[in-house]
Amino acid sequence: MPSLQDLAFLGISAFTLASAAGVAFSRKVLYSAFSLLGTFAGAAGLFVLLSSDFIAVTQVLIYVGGILVLIVFAVMLTNKIGDVKLSNQSVNYKVAVPFAAAIAILLISILTSGMWVQKDEAYTSMIVPIGNALLQDYLLPFEIVSIVLLGALVGAMVIVRREVK
Amino acid sequence: MVSLNSYLVVTAILFALGLYNVMTRKNAVGLLMGVELILNAASINFVAFSHFNGNHVGGNVFSLFLIVLAAAEAAVALAIVVSLYKQFGTINADEADSLKG
Amino acid sequence: MGFAKIAFGLVHLVPLLPLLGAMINGFLTYSGRKVPKGFTAFVACGSLFLAFLISVGTFLYVSGLPEESRELTVTLFPWIDSGSFKADVAFLIDPLSITLMLVVTGVGSLIHLYSVGYMSHDESFSRYFTYLNLFCFAMLTLIMGANVPMMFIGWEGVGLCSYLLIGFWFTDKEKATAGMKAFVVNRIGDFAFIVGFLLLYWTLQSSGAATVTFTEMRDAAPMLAGKTWNGVPVVMLVTLLFFVGATGKSAQIPLYVWLPDAMAGPTPVSALIHAATMVTAGVYMIGRTSFLYSMAPETRMIVSTIGFATAIFSALIAFAQNDIKKVLAYSTVSQLGFMFGAMGTGAYHAGIFHLVTHAFFKACLFLGSGSVIHAMGGEQDIQKMGGLRKYMPVTYKTFLIATLAIAGIFPLAGFFSKDEILWQTFNHYPWLWVVGVVSAAGTAIYMFRMVTLTFFGECRADEHTKHHLHESPASMTIPLVVLAALSIAGGFLGVPDSLGHLIGWEHSNLLEHWLEPVFVMPREHAMASHSTEYGLMAFSLAVAIVGCYAGYVLFSKRKDIPAALVARFPAIHRAMQNKFYVDEIYQFLFVNNLLRLNNFLAKFDLKVVDGIVNLVGFLTKVSAYISGAFDRIFVDGLVNLVGNAARWGGSALRRVQSGQIQTYLYYAVGGVLLVMLYRLL
């Protein structure tokens, strides 16, 4: 008898994979973008199942609220308004399918054949440990990442700005 | 019984889908979406390993960094896509081949 | 002492000053610019006179040194340094070289001064002085050179200048030919000289004393004793070869033929080069290499024999010559014979002594004859002169003094030097002494024949010439007077010790004692007693006086005697007049055959050598073509192959660089797949 937890995992992962397939196979770029919303949400659900509540929230905030909006903006900016045919055609799928399939099969076979150490899987809130870790053990990476983020913001602006003569 | 392996299988498939997406899309924005899929798969993997290792905090911190980097990458990459469009009038990745040997 | 010391510090300038003068005048001549004759003369005479002053200072300096340290080497810079062959540009300053330096610069200065007057009307005035200065440079290098190569430079240099000056008026073919003759005859001697030098060097080197400097050679000379080359003693061979060189330069049998012809040059040149200095180079060279000659008695005997044979032979020829300069030329050859005779006895100082006195009186005679020729408007035939003493008193007096000196009248210079030679000869080779005395008598007769015909009696010149007869300008007479004075006084440099002893003047033979440290004397030879010496002196003086008187009488009052003799022995007279046909014999024996050989060699060169050269050229061309083809096809092919391989490889590989990101992704994924498969299998 599968537990509620198992059912939730099955449902969420099925949803995630299905929307990911939508991203991968849909014909139009906007459909892909919307399917991506489902994938991000599914991933957030999987984080919750893995007791990472903070990551799940962050996922929803940044991916869904930030990156996805950015992507939709980019789609809009790079196509003429009124151009109905916002196609998202695929090429080379005859080559890509075997490649991707082979990668998937090999990954699965390698990962599942590993003898992973498994400890108890209690559900606790990870917010406090993450906060401590970020300001103690991971302080330097944290600061570096913030600088990288700043650099990325400035860089993005430099790249898209209009040349002032 | 949900085990580590089930998560690994799911993320492997997710990764493969993202890879397929990156390999096949002509549209640069579509291509970026594939990258996001791959990053999500990796992120889930980190957290899964962390969870099944007694809720170790390292995986969570790493996936947090991953999210931040994904945001930065998206910002820069989309900026590039916009300027690519300005330069070439298209965002088809196969048409921007100035570096062809 | 201050002057002497400074002068010695400048001694290297002695040869360099005339060179500088030659360069200044030479470049000015070459540039074709009009230069005042005064400037040219000033440069030429001034440079040599300065050299004379330095020589005098050097003499004072060296004579102030103790006897054993009167041997100084002034090294300017290394010249040849090749293995064991090391030669520096260096000057050897010792009594011998100083004596010769004084003669060359002193007499040279006088003759330069004389030339200013003599050549004043010549177009090539500055060219003349360029050559003359160049000659002085070469002669001084010859004298002062501290090693054989330096001496050889001078040796060749004087030969060159002699050639240039004999053929000075080269538009006259006969004069140009005379220059060439001198040059070619000298070549024979020079060749022997250099062969001798190489043999000497080679032998010294194999003895472990590789050196070319005279002083070191002298110290190493004892090692040569007993060394043989194909059974012949090396020392004898070397000295003989050197002597052959000397016969070329100093006009001895058999190579004397060039000197009479050399009178084609301007008269001062004859005085300087062909009487006073260059022709004595051979004598000097024997003196310089006395350490070798003292070891080779056989060679010395040959030297003496040749010397006296030349003396009497050329004296005979001189009897029948009518050209004033030709007489003097044969007289020079004869006197040089005396010098060699002295060198051969081993009494080197006697030879050098005669060299010095001869330089004085023979230069005086030549300059006097130049003065006469100048006055006669170029006429050189003594049969057409006569009575000139009225017209040219200074020339006449100096000429007479010099003639008395050469004849050996006491107490003029020639008496002492010639008597020293005869005395030494008497002690070594008595039978050569006889030859010497006969030649001395002959000298007196033919010299007075010339003086008589030139200056005494009636003037036989035509009216036009007679009208122009005049004494020469001061620039010409001053050197004559000075040289005549030297002809008188020069002899007192070498008053024999036996004579000096009589008047209480011990060691009166100044020159002998001055030169003593330089020479390596042969083994002591038993000398006859003083009384014998006095007797011989008296005898030779008597012979000279009788000769002079005979010469005067036979050609002024009793002209019938020579005429009768000529009528009686016409063949002999003709032979004497024609110089015993030596030139013709040489022409027949050597020159013609040589020319034939030359023609043969020219044809050989044209046909065979050129053929071979052309063949070699052709073969080279063929092989070059083959190697060119090889280069083009094989080497170039290889190079192109490498280049093309890189190009083809590049054009194949550039397809990989498609510029499309997804292609790169395929490669990356493919790589990952391979790694995974490898991990799995």
DSSP C431-443: HHHHHHHHHHHHH
Closest CB from A89, A107, A134 relative to B26: A89
Report the pLDDT averaged over residues A139-146.
91
- The phi-psi region of residue C575 (left if phi > 0; otherwise alpha if psi is between -120 and 50; otherwise beta) is alpha
Cα separation, C37 vs C39, in Å, equals: 5
Pairwise CB contact (< 8 Å): C669 & A92: no
Cα separation, C522 vs C423, in Å, equals: 17
In Å, how far is A87's CA from the nearest CA of chain C? Answer: 18
| Chain C residues inside the 8 Å CB shell of B22 | 662, 665
Check if C651 contacts B (Cβ < 8 Å): no
| Chain A residues inside the 8 Å CB shell of B67 | 55, 58-59, 62-63
Closest CB from B93, B98, B99 relative to C662: B93
- Bridge partners for C80 per DSSP: C87
Residue whose structure tokens are 């390698």: A110
| Chain C residues inside the 8 Å CB shell of A103 | 669, 672-673, 676
Q: Which residues contact C195 (CB under 8 A, 6 or more apart)?
A: C241
CB burial of residue A35 (10 Å; 0-12, 13-18, 19+): buried
At C510 the pLDDT is: 83
Q: Is the pLDDT of residue C507 over 80?
A: no
The interface pTM score, or ipTM, of the predicted complex is 0.89
- Going by the DSSP 8-state scheme, the letter that residue B25 receives in this structure is B
Cα separation, B25 vs A71, in Å, equals: 15
Q: Could you report the per-residue pLDDT of C266-305, keeping only the tens digit for each?
A: 889 988 888 888 889 999 999 999 998 988 888 999 999 9
| Residue to substitute from B15, B21, B94, B95, interface C, most C β-carbons within 10 A | B94
Q: Is the pLDDT of residue A84 over 70?
A: no
Let me know: does A63 contact B67? Beta carbons within 8 Å: yes
C486's tokens: 């030297």
Q: Is the pLDDT of residue C193 over 50?
A: yes
| Residue to substitute from C647, C653, C654, C660, interface B, most B β-carbons within 10 A | C660
Question: How many of the other CB atoms lie within 10 Å of CB of C159?
Answer: 22
At A80 the pLDDT is: 58
End-to-end CA distance of chain B: 53
Check if B2 contacts C (Cβ < 8 Å): no
Cα separation, C116 vs C476, in Å, equals: 8
| Chain C residues inside the 8 Å CB shell of B24 | 662
Nearest 5°: phi and psi at C186?
Answer: -65, -35
| Chain A residues inside the 8 Å CB shell of B13 | 17, 20, 104, 108
- Going by the DSSP 8-state scheme, the letter that residue C397 receives in this structure is H
At A164 the pLDDT is: 65
At C155 the pLDDT is: 92
What residue type is assigned to position C389 of the chain?
R
Report the pLDDT averaged over residues A25-52.
88
Calculate Rg over the CA atoms of chain B: 17
C121's tokens: 């009307």
In Å, how far is C668's CA from the nearest CA of chain B? Answer: 11
Average pLDDT, chain C: 88
Question: How many of the other CB atoms lie within 10 Å of CB of C188?
Answer: 16
| Chain B residues inside the 8 Å CB shell of A5 | 2
Cα separation, C317 vs C313, in Å, equals: 7
Report the pLDDT averaged over residues C185-190.
90
A39's tokens: 């994938």
Cα separation, C250 vs C234, in Å, equals: 23
Calculate Rg over the CA atoms of chain C: 35
Query: For residue C269, how many C-alpha atoms fall within 13 Å in the half-sphere facing its CB?
Result: 29
Q: Could you report the per-residue pLDDT of C131-157, keeping only the tens digit for each?
A: 999 999 999 999 999 999 999 999 999
Q: Is the pLDDT of residue A83 over 70?
A: no
C18's tokens: 């005339």
SS3 per residue for C622-634: HHHHHHHHHHHHH
- The Cα-based distances of C587 to A94, B60, C183, C583, C595 in angstroms read 113, 125, 16, 6, 10
Check if C673 contacts B (Cβ < 8 Å): no
Closest CA to A47 of A119, A123, A138: A123
Closest CB from A99, A107, A110 relative to C666: A99
| Chain A residues inside the 8 Å CB shell of C667 | none
Let me know: does C186 contact C251? Beta carbons within 8 Å: no
At C331 the pLDDT is: 92
At B43 the pLDDT is: 93
Query: For residue A108, how many C-alpha atoms fall within 13 Å in the half-sphere facing its CB?
Result: 16
Give the residue with greater pLDDT, B37 vs C570. B37
What residue type is assigned to position C146 of the chain?
A
- The Cα-based distances of C633 to A35, C623, C636, C647, C681 in angstroms read 68, 15, 6, 20, 52
- Bridge partners for C77 per DSSP: C89
Residue whose structure tokens are 């010695």: C8
Question: How many of the other CB atoms lie within 10 Å of CB of C199?
Answer: 16
Long-range CB contact pairs, C504-510, < 8 A, 24+: C509/C349
Check if A144 contacts B (Cβ < 8 Å): no
Closest CA to C386 of C377, C376, C401: C376
Pairwise CB contact (< 8 Å): C677 & A106: yes
- Bridge partners for C233 per DSSP: C228
| Residues shown for chain B | 101
Peptide bond into C18 cis (omega under 30): no
Closest CA to A33 of A3, A78, A2, A1: A78
Three-state DSSP class for residue C229? strand
- Bridge partners for C81 per DSSP: C86
- Bridge partners for B92 per DSSP: B27
Check if A117 contacts B (Cβ < 8 Å): yes
Pairwise CB contact (< 8 Å): A110 & C679: yes
Q: Could you report the per-residue pLDDT of C296-351, keeping only the tens digit for each?
A: 888 999 999 999 999 999 998 888 888 889 999 999 999 999 999 999 888 888 99
In Å, how far is C673's CA from the nearest CA of chain A? Answer: 7
Q: Could you report the per-residue pLDDT of C618-638, keeping only the tens digit for each?
A: 999 999 999 999 988 888 889
Give the residue with greater pLDDT, A89 vs B6. B6
Cα separation, C423 vs C440, in Å, equals: 13
At A91 the pLDDT is: 63
Q: Could you report the per-residue pLDDT of C228-277, keeping only the tens digit for each?
A: 888 888 889 999 999 999 999 998 888 888 888 888 888 899 888 888 88
Question: How many of the other CB atoms lie within 10 Å of CB of A50?
Answer: 28
H or E element in which residue C92 lies: strand C85-93
At C9 the pLDDT is: 86
- Going by the DSSP 8-state scheme, the letter that residue C471 receives in this structure is P
Q: Is the pLDDT of residue A82 over 50?
A: no
Q: Could you report the per-residue pLDDT of C73-125, keeping only the tens digit for each?
A: 999 999 988 888 888 999 999 999 999 999 999 999 999 999 988 888 888 88
At C209 the pLDDT is: 81
Let me know: does A122 contact B55? Beta carbons within 8 Å: yes
In Å, how far is B36's CA from the nearest CA of chain C? Answer: 16
At C504 the pLDDT is: 75
Count the helix, strand and coil residues of chain A and give each as a percent rounded to the nearest 5: 75, 0, 25
Cα separation, C415 vs C435, in Å, equals: 17
Going by pLDDT thresholds of 50, 70 and 90, the confidence category of residue B17 is very high
Q: Is the pLDDT of residue C511 over 60?
A: yes
Going by pLDDT thresholds of 50, 70 and 90, the confidence category of residue A165 is low
Pairing of strands C232-233, C228-229: antiparallel
Question: Which chains lie within 8 Å of chain B at 3 or more CB pairs, if any?
Answer: A, C
| Residue to substitute from C658, C673, C678, interface A, most A β-carbons within 10 A | C673
Cα separation, C123 vs A163, in Å, equals: 91
Measured in whole angstroms, the distance separating CA C195 from the mean position of its chain's CA atoms is: 17
Closest CA to B101 of C663, C672, A93, A96: C663
At B101 the pLDDT is: 64
Pairwise CB contact (< 8 Å): C666 & A106: no
User: Measured at the alpha carbon of residue C510, what is the angle toward residues C17 and C436, in degrees to the nearest 5?
Assistant: 95
Report the pLDDT averaged over residues C153-163.
92
Closest CB from C653, C657, C669 relative to B100: C657
Residue whose structure tokens are 């000056």: C165
At A150 the pLDDT is: 92
Cα separation, C534 vs C544, in Å, equals: 15
Count the helix, strand and coil residues of chain C and give each as a percent rounded to the nearest 5: 80, 5, 20
Question: Which chains lie within 8 Å of chain C at 3 or more CB pairs, if any?
Answer: A, B
Question: How many of the other CB atoms lie within 10 Å of CB of C663?
Answer: 18
